[in-house]
Each structure stands twice: as structure tokens, then as C-alpha cells.
Amino acid sequence: MGTPVNIIVGSHVWVEDHSLAWVDGEVSKLNGEDAEIQTSNGKRVVANLSRIYPKDMEAPAGGVDDMTKLSYLHEPGVLQNLKIRYELNEIYTYTGNILIAINPFQRLPHLYDAHMMQQYKGAPFGELSPHVFAVADVAYRAMINEGKSNSILVSGESGAGKTETTKMLMRYLAFLGGRVATEGRTVEQQVLESNPVLEAFGNAKTVRNNNSSRFGKFVEIQFDKQGRISGAAIRTYLLERSRVCQISDPERNYHCFYLLCAAPQEEIEKYKLGNPKSFHYLNQSNCYELVGVSDAHDYLATRRAMDIVGISGKEQDAIFRVVAAILHLGNIEFTKGKEIDSSVPKDEKSKFHLNMTAELLMCDPRALEDALCKRVMITPEEVIKRSLDPLGATVSRDGLAKTIYSRLFDWLVDKINVSIGQDPNSKSLIGVLDIYGFESFKANSFEQFCINFTNEKLQQHFNQHVFKMEQEEYTKEAIDWSYIEFVDNQDVLDLIEKKPGGIVALLDEACMFPKSTHETFANKLYQTFKNHKRFIKPKLSRTDFTIAHYAGEVLYQSDQFLDKNKDYVVPEHQDLLSASKCSFVAGLFPLLPEETTKSSKFSSIGSRFKLQLQQLMETLSSTEPHYIRCVKPNNLLKPAIFENVNIMQQLRCGGVLEAIRISCAGYPTRRAFFEFINRFGVLAPEIVEGNHDEKVICGKILEKKGLKGFQIGKTKVFLRAGQMAELDARRAEVLSNAAKTIQHRIRTHNARKQFIALRKATIHVQSLWRGRLACKFFESMKREAGAVKIQKNIRRYQARKGYSKLRVSGLVLQTGLRAMAARKEFRFRKQTKAAIIMQTRWRCHRASSYYKKLKRASIVSQCRWRGRIARRELRKLKMAARETGALKEAKDKLEKHVEELTWRLQLEKRLRTDLEEAKTQEITKLQNSLQSMQIKIDETSALLVKEREAARKAIEEAPPVIKEKQVIVEDTKRIDSLTGEVESLKASLHLEEQRADNSERRYAEAQESIEEKQKKLQETEGKVHQLLESLSRLEEKLTNLESENQVLRQQAVSVSMAPNKFLSGRSKSIVQRSAEGGHIVGDPKPALDMHSHSIIQRDHPEVEEKPQKSLNEKQQENQELLIRCIAQHLGFAGNRPIAACIIYKCLLQWRSFEVERTSVFDRIIQTIGNAIETQDNNDVLAYWLSNASTLLLLLQRTLKASGAAGMAPQRRRSSSATLFGRMTQSFRGTPQGVNLSFVNGGLNGGVDTLRQVEAKYPALLFKQQLTAYVEKIYGMIRDNLKKEISPLLGLCIQAPRISRASLVKGSSRSLANSAAQQALIAHWQGIVKSLGNFLNTLKANHVPPFLVRKVFTQIFSFINVQLFNSLLLRRECCSFSNGEYVKAGLAELEHWCYKATDEVQLGMSLSISDRLSGFWSYIKNPRKHWMKLAMTYALFSAYSSFIESVQCIGMTSMELIVCPQKLYPT
């Protein structure tokens, strides 16, 4: 169809494109037979002229409804016309009397309503827009008018809309022929209601479609004499029987098998079914389910459709029983029996499926096994029973399954036909054929071979019909068509079906021989059709073959051709199933006459397929055919998507392009006389202007242009292929020349018109400019005369003004100079007078200042000398304390020095190791190079010896003297060159030896340096050991100095006279001892810095690695939540502090004790510090003391020192010297009365069940800081109580004067004075009240009892010391009345102690009054015993140094004073 002529530059053409099939463009350049084309999508393509097609630029914008009206009837023209109409939702297009229907994939209700059917009723074909109703109307009118049956062939691939088109045809035919209702449903409704049943048993999933029909369907709609529908019948053809037994991946078997496996549970149990994967006929493919399809729902829909069609419930059960039997039949496997070439069921599983098959088919299991494994051969003499091998038994099994399914499908079709009802008296019918289209996959088997064979037969019928239509058109127009050549596909049909040498015949012949295989079948095909032009043998395969069909070449795989073709009813199978107890199964296999049984021959699917196809073709040939080609626009099944390549393939497979080719073989272009003259009249205008007939005008135009082969009919002009393009090219050339002439004339006119206008405008501009220049010249002369006159007047004015200004300036200058001289004289005289006054004042001030300064200096000197003497005395007192700080600083410096030396020692060791490794590697390299050089020297020496030997032999074997000279010269040169090479090698050897010596020398030096460093290292290690020993000695000295320092501080405190100073000094000493013990309460950061340097040096290899981030954002949030939680007063659960338990559990859960770095400890300490900062409220302090002490006990029991923190205890001084150091040590055993069970009961066993944790340095530091805070809180609580009772103690020493007489006279016994006595001891009651409130506060906050005992022990010691000091310092208080007063107060205090709990009694089992009896006797006789009191005061200095040891044995300060014989028995 190519048109290699009449293509010029600028022509619009179509060119092939891989993605779009065809793309339009414009010819930009011609190079011989090639053309360069600029396409519409921006590409530049070079194509041969024979491969491009002209484009009709005058085609209607909406396309043409009949493609025979196209000016250019070729592939791109057809495709573009279909695309234009599809975009306008015009889905129907004619090609002659062939209707092309493109599936819109959307509802278009306006195309199929009753109004549309009414419009097409009786309308002539082609008068209205293309429609499926028009085709049905033509068929119906032809049947009514001519009395001949018609057929409508609907074809297309799956998803193209064949079923919907068939439905529309039947609706329109029912609209035309009236409706004959059957049981309330019309015929077309009954036919459509049968579709679900036929689809369930006749459709399957293929590669291209999930619901592909695997059979052909011919619906006969029968009409009576009045043209009304009187009946209908469904004829099925070419069921794909081989699919029952063999499927390929990813296809599926027929839908009914999967529907039955998805049936309700009672159905599955009834038929003993299961998952489809468990059945051999279904698990050959990996596809078991369809996307978006529910097999269970479709099973119920199929059941309802069976009810509608008229299949009873009993028959439905029988149908599905047969389907289940086929599934069980496929699972029967065979193995070799005891006899030769015999077979038996393989295992128990196969026997189970055999019994289930027999049970479902209601036959004898033994008979079923014999029918599958044995054959009966009847001879004239006898009946022989032959066993089958396992392969033969498998083939027999599959043959039985295919036969049962085929009979079942035929029964369903017959049942549907009976339900619909047929008219035996009808002589007119319209048949609608719905059959599968041409198929070509990657793997094509026997099924595709049969389908394509069917489409070849239909294509031949289609070609004959199209050729017939062409002939009728030519006959109608009375033109000569005898020379038109028609190309037929009969050669392909002969290749397939011809007897005896066709492919089907050869396949049947191969199936008759038991030993035939697909290889022998393929070789037979190769030998038979090696010269056939339609048969192609592939180069890379021995069993495949290719057939050139009308739609293209298809490669078939013959692997399973023989197995899928075998289809014959075995007599044993017939006898078995005809004797079934199930009437339905027996009805599928009726008894055959004896003659038929005896004359039965071999039967195959191919033969039956060919026979059914022949019957179908006979039916179509007896009717008047009408063709509808359904096209699927895209594979996505979505609207408004037009895939060019896909549609071109469908048009080619549907025969549309073949019809176009047939049309192009004749006269593809046909134009009415008026259209032809209107378009091409410009080629011969002189002919058109004459009074000629239109037919004559068309003939003369064609003759004038020299065209040949055209035909002029009665109403149209018939042109051969390419002539339309040639006429268009001539027309375009004429129109181009005319356009050029018009352009030439118009451009000449425009240029002359522009020139005249320009000349006129130029003259006018010149006159204007000349006048303008004259005016400018006159103006310039006038301005010049005026400028001269102005300059003269200005110069005169400037000269007069300058003279006047100079005169005035001279007068002003003279006046100013005279005034300045007068002012200067006045100023000099005034300054002289002022200087005299200032000198007088200054001399007076200097004398006075000198006197005052001398006086002040003498006073300052005296003060400083006195201060120096005082400081010297003070320095002597503070010397001891300063020595302790100096020793501590020296110790810290020594620790840092030791750590630095240790780090250097490790670094030296590492450097020495690296240096030794480097030297070893370098020596190894040098030795290797030396060995290689030695090898090279040896090889060179051997080569030199060989060369010398060769030279010597050459000299000895040389010819006479005349020829010797040249040889000698050449050998000498060669020897010289070798000698030079040897010398060079010796030089290189010498250099290598020198390098080796240098290397050895460097190695020796390195060894020496290493030995020196080793010596230094040993010396350094010795120094480190010495420093460690000195450090241990210093620590021992420091411990001794601390104890001495404590004694000195106690003595200093005892010297102080005021009680407040004593208290402040004692609290300071406690804080100082805490700091000396490593517990810094105020700021925990210095304690961390103390160990940071050593930790960095000790973990140096770990520091080089990037540390893992210890806390993520979630941990930060958890820490924030914990801090906010513990900052609030959480209270207690029972007697357990909630905050301490929460902190301990969180730290244990987060593994904070085991990490190297964390900030949670510092934040907890900071929170506790903020809570107790400047707190005078004992309730808050007691709350935090309870929490901190409990948490400290938990840490003491949980944490154990790790290797990283192993050096910390060596640096810490013994904390046992402090109060809370002993308390921490006492935590190792749980104190009595301390309950540490957790709030939630998670630790019911107390601290004994706590898990030991390997603690890192931050955890140990946290424990130290927590210990310091417990000590601080304890001291704050104690000091608060001391501050509260200190004022009252001062009032409790001396009794009021009013009550002395009553106390002496013993009036205290009377009831009248009891109230007065209560008033006298009000101060002691205040102390008791304070103690009671304090005890209640501690108990309310559940402070551990041992802390309560300790604090009350120290409070009572404080009371004893205060009373003792006050009595010693105030002599007037040493009287009998004061003694009685103090005794009464102490009795009140003792009474409160007995009423208090065990925490307050704290070992005070001895009565205070009994212990003070001796003391009161001293007070009652002051003169007699004053000397003893003085001696006791002298012993108080010793009391301070032993106060700690006294507290350890349970003695208070007051007991020490009362019973000094316990300490000083002598």
C-alpha cells in the first residue's frame, strides 16, 4: 500500500513509530529514495519513500463514519479516523458494511435507549450514524424481505465487548420482532440468564483475560412468518477439552472447579474437597484466585442462575458431584504392579481418591480401577484382557476426565436449550456468533493452534464476503473488474486440514502409534512441509514450528500436542459409567448400539474440532453474513485511553486490514462526480467552465493529468492505489503556484505604495527643517548682541564693588588690632595679681598637709605593728589546720604526677612496640630486596659464562682467516657489551650492599635507642612505685593529722565563751570533716574533677573511640518527668518513702548505674539541693532525710565497685572517722526498724533480695554525694532543734527569785502552790514541747529509727554540755535553790522520755536524776566543793578529745561530768 511517488518537500505524511505505530509529520528534505521528516512530536526521522503514506489534510475534523470514504485508505488513515471518533465518544465506524465497535469502558445510555432504536427502525443502511442497531436492522430486513436466514459474526479478543454487543443485538431484534414471553421472561432474557452457567463451566483465566471463553457460541434467534421471535437455541462449538487435565502457569482451569472448592463448608465436607492446591488438575499453575473476584460469591450466583434456567436442585447436586469426581480422579496416581507392564494405585492417598471418585459417580471402585488400568481386546477367537503400564493408566485417567467434562458441558447446553424453547416450524433465523479471536502468546500450544485454525476459516469466509461486496459494488457501477487479483488464505487451511498430508492428519496418525513422541511428530512435520512457504522451522528448536497466519507468524510448541489431541471413548469407560447407579451419570453415557461399538474408530480432539468447525462454516454459508469487529482500546480497561499499537494488532487479527488490502487491490478510492470536480477542478479550469457533463469532466481531468487504470462508473470515479495522492500532489502544486503569483502581485503593490508615501513625507520634512534652521540662526545673532552688553555692565559693577569692600576691610582691621593690644595689657596685669595670691595659699596648704601626713603615718605604723604581733599569735594557733590543707594539696599533686607518669609509661610502651614492628618490617623488606638482587647477580653471572662459552666455541669453529675478521669483530663487540653489563650489575650490587649496610646500621641505632628507652621506662616504673609508697605513707600521716586536728578544734571550741560560737564551731567542724572525707555537700562537681584526669588516662583507648550516645530523646523526656515528679511532695505508702523508691526503680530500669556518663545523678542531687536550700522547716527536711537515707541504703546494698572505679576507694580517706561514715558502714546490715520493701510490692524480701549491679564511677560518685546530703540534712535538722531550745536552756539554769523561798520551805508540796510550780518549770515544758513536736515530725516522715536515736543522743549531749558550761561560767547559779530548780526540770524531761517511744529512750535506761545525785551535792555546798568543781573544769579539755569514744560506749556529756570515774578512775 506504499506510495513511493508524488511526495514532495512540504508534504504531510505518516511514518512508522515504535511506540505510537504511526506518527504524522512534514517532509523537510528529499535525498533520492529517502525522505527526512519532521514529526509532530519533535523528532526528525529519515525513512524510505516506500515506507511512508500521505496524510489527508482536508479530512473532516470529526472523522468519517465510513472509512471507504477516506481519501487515503491505508493503515495510518484508518487508525487516525478511529482515534478521532473514539475521542468524541463515536465508538462505531463502518468499513463498507463491516461495523467496527470500540469498547468505551463506560456507560453511554443515550446510544441504546428506546428512542435510538425507534430511529434506526427501517432506516436505510448508511443513512444514520454507524450503530450496532443498523447492522441488526439490515439483517432483519433482509430476512423479512428475502426470506433468507442471516447471521451476525461478532469477533474480537477478550474484553473487547462481544457479550455486550450480543446483548444489544438481541434487544434490538426483540424490539423489531416483538416479544414472546415464556414464564414471564423474554427469550433474550433467558439467553442472557444462561450466561453465568456457561461462563462457570466454559470460561477460564488466560494470559490476557481473567474470564476468557474457551468455546464458541452461536445463538440462533428463530422467527415465525410474521417476523416475531418464536424461539432460540444456543449452539456451542470447539470446547477446549484439554484444559481439564493440563494447564500452564499463570492460567487457571475452568471456573467451576474453583467455585466448588469455595462452596459452603457442608458442601466441601460432602464431596471431601479442600484447598485447590491439593488437586493435580488445579495445582499445575500457581494461580488459584482472581483479583477482585470472590469464588464463594460466584458459586452462589451460579446456583441461582441454574435455578433460573430450570435446573432442579437434584440435578445441581449431580452436576457438582461429577465436578468433584473429576477433581478426585485427577489425584489418582499409578505405579508398577506385580506383573509386567501392569499398574496399580500408588499409595493409600490414591486409593482414597479412587474410592471417592467411585462413590461420587456411584459405580464399583474395583470396576473403576480395572477400567483405568486394563483394556479388553476382542478377537474372533477370544476376549483378551491386557494391563496398562503407569503411563498408559495416567492417559486413560485423563481421557476419562475429559470425556466426563465434555458430556457434562453438552448436557448443560441441551438443558438450557430445552429451558429456552425452540420453534421447529421456524424457517427464518438470525444467528449471532460469539467466538474467541486470534491468539498469539509467548508459549502457544494445541489450544492456540485450534483457535487460530478457526480464525483462519472465519477469515477466509470474511475475505470471500468482502471480495463479494467489492464485486457487487463494481457491478453496480458497471465497471470492468475482471483483472482484479484476489489473494486467498486457502494455502494455510490446506497446510492445517488437508488430507492426508495436513498437520491435523499427521497429528492423528502420530496419536495412533503408542511409541510416537512430540519429537517424532515434529520431525514428520519438518520433512513433510520443508518447502511450504507458510511453514517455518525455527533454527534454535527441534520440536517447535511456526505457521504464517493471516495475522502474523505464530510459534507453536509441540511438547503436549499428542497428549492434548487424544480423545476417544474407551469401551470400558462407557460400560462403567453407563452402569452407574446415578441416573444423571448414566444419562451422560447412554448405551450405544452394538454396531456402533463394533465400528468405533480412533477419535481425536483435532478431528472433532475440524468436524465442528465444518458444521459451523456450513451454517454460516447458508446464511447472509454481517460482521461486527469488537476492539479493546487498552489493556487497562479504562475509558479515554487509545493505544495505537494494541488497536493495530486487533485490526490486523480481526481481518479489517485484510479487507482494506483487498480494497486496495482494486479501487480503494471512490469519489462521487460532484466531490471529485469540487476538489480537483483547479487542475483543468478550462474544462470545468465548458458546458460538459460531470462524468465527461472527470474523465477529461484524469486524461489531462496522464493517469491510467482508473474507472468511471455511473455515479463515482474509481481510482487505483496512489492515484489520489498523485492528484493531490498536482493540486497542491497548482495551488502553490497560484499562491506565489498572488504573493508577488501583493508585495509589488505594497512596495510601490510605501515608496510614494515615503517620498511625499521626505519633501515635507525637508521644508520644515529649512525654516527651523533659519529661525535658529536669527535667534543666535540676537543672543550674541545681548551678551556683549550684559558683560560690559557686569565688569563695571564688579570693579566698584571690589574697591568699596577693600576700603571697609582696612578700617575694621585697624580697629581690631588696637583693641587687642589694650586687652592683652589688661590680662597680663590681672594674671600677675592672681599668681601672687595662689602662691600664698599653696605654701600654707603644703605646710599643713605635711604635718597631718606625718601624724597619720605614725598612728598607722603603731596599728600595723600591734596587728602584726596579734597575727603572729593567731598564726601559731592556725598552724595545725593549715598543715592539713598543705598535706592535702601535696597529696593531690602527687596523685596527678603518678597518673601522668603512668600514662607516659603506657605511651612509651605503645611507641616502643610500634617502633619494633616498623623496624622488623623494614628489615624484612631490605632482606627480600637483597635476596632478589643476589638472584639477579647469579643469573647475570650464569648468562655471562654462557656467552663466553658460546664466543669461545664460535672462535674455534670459525672458517678461514678471510672470514674470521668480521666474526671476531662482532664477537668482540658482543663480549664488550656483556662486560659493560656485568660492570653495571656489579656497581648496582655494590650500591645494594651499601644500602644493606646502612639499613643494618640504622637498625643497630634503633636497637640502642630502644634499649635506652627501656632503661628509662624501668627507671620511671621504679619512680612510680616509690611515689605510690610515699603516697601511702602520706595518707597514713594525713589520717593521724586529722585525728590531731580534731583534738585541737575541740580544744579551741572549749576555750570559746559564748554558746552560739560553740554551736557554730561544732557545725563547721562537721562540715569540714565531711569535706575531708571526700563528701562535698555544697558543690559535687569538684569531687568529679578529682577523678576525671585519672579516668581519662586509664581509659585512654576507649576515649579514642566515639562514645555511643547514652540517652536519646525519650530518655531525656523520662528524666524530665522523674525530676518534675520527685520535686513534688509524694508522701509515703505505709512507712515507705515513695520518692526514694521511684528514683531507685527508674535508675535501675534505665541501667544508669552501669553507664560511663550520665547527667541524671547530677540532676537528682541538684533537685534535692534546691529542695533543702535555706530551709528552716523541719517537716521538709525530715521528708528529704527519710528519702535520702532510704535511697542511700538501697544504693549501698545494690552497687558494687567496678574496675573503672577501682582506684576511687584508694584515694578516698577513711570515712569512718565521721558520724555518717559509721552510719554508711552500718548500712551493710539492715538497721532494725528500717522497712525497704517497695511501694508496689516488687521487693517483698527487703534489701536481701536486691540484685548486685556493677557500678561505674558516676554511680559511686552519686552515692558519695548522697551520703554528704544525708549528713547535711541531718545537721540542719539537728541545728534547727538546737536553735529552738538554746534560748530556753539559758532560762532553765537559774530559778526566778520569787519562787526561791517557796522552794526552800518545801511549799511545793502543797496543792495551792502546784500551779506556781507549773509556771516555774514552763521553760522546761517548752523544751519538752519542742522535743515532742520534733519527734512527731520525724515519725510523720518515717525517718529511720536509728537516725532518730542518734539525733536525740546528740541533742541530749548538747543539753548536758550547755547546762554544764552555763553552771561553770555563772558561779551565782551554783546554789541549792537553782539545783532544785534544775532537778525539777530534768525530772520533767525524764518523765517525757519515759512516755516517749523507744526511739527517744535511746539507751537512757539509767535515771538522769540518779546519775546527777553527786552533781547536786556539789551545787548545794558551793564553798566546800568549789575546788572540786574547778578540778572538773580543768578536766574538760580532755573531755573534748574523747567525746567521740564516749558516745560510742553510750555515755552522754552529762554522765561524763557526773561520773568522771568512768574515764578517770584514778
Active-site choice (213, 403, 426, 428): 213
Q: What's the maximum distance between 2 C-alpha atoms anywhere in the chain?
A: 182
Among the listed residues 216, 231, 437, 1275, the single catalytic one is: 437
What are the backbone angles phi and psi of residue 234, rounded to the nearest 5°?
Answer: -110, 120
Of the residues 6, 155, 158, 1054, only one is catalytic, namely 158
Q: What whole-number distance in Å separates Cα of residue 345 and Cα of residue 358? A: 14
DSSP reduced 3-state for 643: coil
1094: cell is 585519672
- Phi then psi dihedrals of residue 345, to 5 deg: -55, 140
> Which listed residue (93, 95, 103, 212) is catalytic?
212
Whether the CB-CB separation of 1110 and 1155 falls below 8 Å is answered with: yes
Q: Which of 96, 159, 202, 1385 is catalytic?
A: 159
What are the grid coordinates assigned to 86, written together? 473514539
Q: Is 159 labeled as catalytic in the residue annotation?
A: yes
Sorted by sequence, the CB contacts under 8 Å of residue 1285 that are 6+ apart come out as 1326, 1327, 1330, 1331, 1355, 1359
Residue written as grid cell 447412554: 590
- Look up 1385 and say whether it is catalytic: no
The strand pairing partners of 524, in sequence order, are none
Per residue, what are the HEC states of 568-621? Answer: CCCHHHHHHHHCCCCHHHHHHCCCCCHHHHHCCCCCEHHHHHHHHHHHHHHHHH
Question: Known catalytic residue: 439?
Answer: yes
- Least Cα distance to 1380 among 1288, 1293, 1312 occurs for 1293
706: annotated active-site residue: no
Alpha-carbon torsion (241, 242, 246, 248), positive or negative: negative
Amino acid at 947: E
Which entry of 151, 209, 357, 1337 is annotated as an active-site residue? 209
For 524, list phi and psi in degrees, rounded to 5. -65, -40
- The one-letter amino acid code at 643 reads E
Q: Is 1275 a catalytic residue?
A: no
Quote the CA–CA distance of 1194 and 1152 in Å, as a whole number. Answer: 14
Provide the terminal-to-terminal Cα distance of the chain, rounded to the nearest Å: 146
217: exposed, middle or buried (Cβ count in 10 Å: 0-12, 13-18, 19+)? buried
Q: How far apart (Å, rounded) are the C-alpha atoms in residues 1399 and 1351?
A: 10
Element (H or E) spanning 1128, and its range? Answer: none
42 vs 38: CA distance, rounded Å: 7
What sign for the dihedral angle of Cα 81, 82, 85, 88?
Answer: negative
CA separation for the pair 702, 686 (Å, rounded)? 14
Write out the H or E segment, with its range, that includes residue 131: none
Query: How is residue 794 written as a grid cell?
Result: 557686569
Question: Cell numbers 452462589 label which residue?
Answer: 300
Residue 146: how many CB atoms within 10 A of its CB? 11
Please say if 163 is a catalytic residue. yes
CA atoms within 13 A on the CB side of 778: 6
Per annotation, catalytic residue among 333, 439, 447, 895: 439
Under a CB-based contact definition with an 8 Å cutoff, are residues 1182 and 1340 in contact? yes
Calpha distance 1246→1233 (Å, rounded): 12
Contact 526, 415 (CB under 8 A): no
Report the candidate in 1173, 1168, 1178 with the shortest Cα–Cα distance to residue 1341. Answer: 1178
The DSSP string of 32-82 is TTEEEEEETTS-EEEEEGGG-EE--TTS-TT--SBGGG-SS-SHHHHHHHH
Q: Indicate the SS3 state at residue 553.
A: strand
The cell 528552716 sits on which residue?
A: 1176
CB neighbour class for 515 (10 Å; exposed up to 12, middle 13-18, buried from 19): exposed
Closest CA relative to residue 306, chosen from 415, 418, 215: 415
Q: Which of 71, 81, 163, 1377 is catalytic?
A: 163
Which triple of cell numbers denotes residue 1245? 524480701
- How far apart CA 1260 and CA 1264 sit, in angstroms, is 6
**Active site residue ranges:** 158-159, 163, 209, 212-213, 437, 439
